[in-house]
Amino acid sequence: MTSGTITADAAGTWDIGDLTVGRIGFGAMRLTGSAAFHLGTPSDRGRSIAVLRRAIELGVNHIDTAAFYFSALRSANELINSALSPYPDDLLIATKVGPFRDWSGEWGVSARPEDLRGHVEENLRQLGRDHLDLVYLRRMRQESIAEHFGALAELRTAGLVRHLGISDVEPRHLAEAQAIAPVVSVQNRYGLGHRAPRTEELLRVCGEQGVAFVPFFAIAGDGGAQGASTAHDEAVFAVARDHGTSPAAVRLAWTLARGPHVLAIPGTGDPGHLAENVAAGALRLTAGELEDLNAAHRGAGGTPEN
């Protein structure tokens, strides 16, 4: 590591259950190629493996993945296994279950509760592990998650899963799941300018209860799964200019400023972008900058409380 390199330690840490992780983690979706959820151009395997190993060198100890993160010839879980096994003792690998894609890459019917053991076991096989650190139940529009979450709770009792989380949910789903088993983390789409009033409420509730809140697409904006947005409010550009950094770094810094329980999992297949994302954990926004960015967020439909 060269002198002056900013590592993930700069962002601080948070406890997910009994596991302490850096607040800047890594999302594995973009490792697989030009279109992780479709059959786009496969990534360069060596480059993807190098990005994962560099993330660990930079102090990242929280990786978010899923068995359905694959494109032609590439699987995020397989890349993680090849790059990092045997895994560092302090590395938390989080995965999610619920959505399903068949061998051709087409989305299938979302999992039934009885299917979830197979989904968990598929992640275990691909990652080469005998248990999963953290498994999110990704809600697939169902009104109640009790039956699905209960099935995961049974796998936790059986020792296949260490901790449980939920994704794409509302506050009522958090309460529903907590009545069944402990929830250590919530993962929803959230970022500067994203219209998600119930997610704002959920972020607050998680903070009050000490539950980690892990946004996805915090950088991507409206680009979502297709990649990072190039459309930024002038407030974002102004802060980026003042700090000599990128709009993406400003978006990450704003996300982390939403609370000590808020984590970030920016994903990339580019070593340069990886270093920039990790360095964003050291960016400290002033009260005035946060006020300007919050105003931009409200103007786009978001509703931060402070």
Give the active site residues.
69
| Cα Rg of the chain (Å, integer) | 18
Strands (E), the chain: 13-16, 19-22, 26-27, 62-64, 70-71, 74-75, 92-97, 132-138, 161-167, 185-187, 212-213
- List C-alpha distances in Å: 146 to 181, 255, 268: 10, 30, 34
Contact 26, 243 (CB under 8 A): no
86 upstream amide cis, omega within 30 of 0: yes
> Tokens 């930079």 appear where?
58
Nearest to 168 by CA among 205, 198, 193: 198
Residue 25 to residue 275: CA distance in whole angstroms: 12
Strand, helix or coil for residue 26: strand
- List C-alpha distances in Å: 197 to 160, 216, 305: 35, 16, 11
